[in-house]
Amino acid sequence: MAESPRETPAPARLKVLFVCTLNQWRSPTAEALYRGHPRLEVRSAGIRSNARRRIKFGDIKWADLIFVMELDHKRWIQEQFRGAELPPIRNLEITANLHYMDSELQHLLRTAIDPEIEALLGP
């Protein structure tokens, strides 16, 4: 009887949460850019009560890494989820003056995020 080939388990994927103010332009663009990455799982959320998708405690528990667009977003998360074990939070310093999938926004996101991802996962 022939042995069946062993299946190699898929490597764990890094869970990345992108956060901006309203989850309207910046974080959804980042989510769209990295959605097809074979080694990432991605989500996006906003910090305001009227955000398209507001960040929840479940997002914090789910994430291995959070990218925020501004330092105020990081501070807000730290305040709102005080006492929770937070994953690393990286500030991308990308201002809110660009629209969803704007080419300049895509370039800024890739320039800021790609090196961080490569440092964690390798090339």
Question: What is the tens place of the pLDDT at every residue in 64-74?
Answer: 999 999 999 99
Residues forming beta bridges with residue 42, ordered by sequence position: 16
CA distance 94 to 70: 6
Q: Where do the H-state alpha helices sit in 63-102? A: 71-80
Sequence spans of domains, the chain: 14-121
CATH number of 14-121: 3.40.50.2300
Strands 89-91 and 40-46: unpaired
Question: What is the tens place of the pLDDT at every residue in 91-117?
Answer: 999 998 899 999 999 999 999 999 999
pLDDT band, very low/low/confident/very high, at 5 (cuts 50, 70, 90): low
Please tell me the pTM assigned to this model: 0.90
